[in-house]
Amino acid sequence: MATLFLASASPRRRELLAQIAVPCVTQIASIDETPLPGEQPAAYVERLARGKAHAGLAALSNSTDAVVLGADTAVVLDGQILGKPLDFEDFRRMLAGLSGRSHQVMTAVALVSRQAEAARVVCSDVTFRHLSEAEICAYWASGEPCDKAGGYGIQGLAAIFVSRIEGSYSAVVGLPLCETAQMLGDFGIACWQASAAQ
């Protein structure tokens, strides 16, 4: 069976792969994540996922049987990508915009090997209940939102903000497991392997 490399430093993506018993080796790949002029969010996350996977493959010296997984997630409100908050005011603006409304979370997953390449984009709708100013401030004080796209993590403390989700919960966390499992199968990598090596 091919060896799966994860082109991401995200512990959440490692945990999601471990959840479906797929062992992987981390192969961090750094790329420029600046959106291109006029680039649509779905095209943006797919380009980054493919870019990370290709960069990861290029960094491997012996990659004849390697498959590299790249992924990227964007929080999108009114067609605009919300990145990681720059500071408290940026975070406060983001959360105030998400409060009492629905937004989209787009996650792309890409697999590349020396022989093949595939990518999928999964879009989920997430609805927040109304957030008070005190809650927004308290959430920032927790430290959790600092490195999160859109300023929140659905798998963490911000779970209490989410009143409804339509789509893939795991994609909102960072990796759409249903689609990822199908793609891995196409690349000869099985889920539910006997032991998930760390």
For residue 103, which of 8, 53, 177, 167 has the smallest C-alpha distance? 167
H or E element in which residue 3 lies: strand 3-6
Which two tokens mark 72? 């990227």
Residue whose tokens read 């795991």:
170
Given the residues 32, 65, 72, 90, the one annotated as active site:
72
Whether residue 186 lies in the annotated active site: no
Instruction: For residue 13, count other CB atoms closer than 10 A to its CB.
Output: 25
CB-based contacts of 49, cutoff 8 Å, min separation 6 = 70, 71, 72, 108, 109, 110, 119
Q: Which residues are catalytic?
A: 72
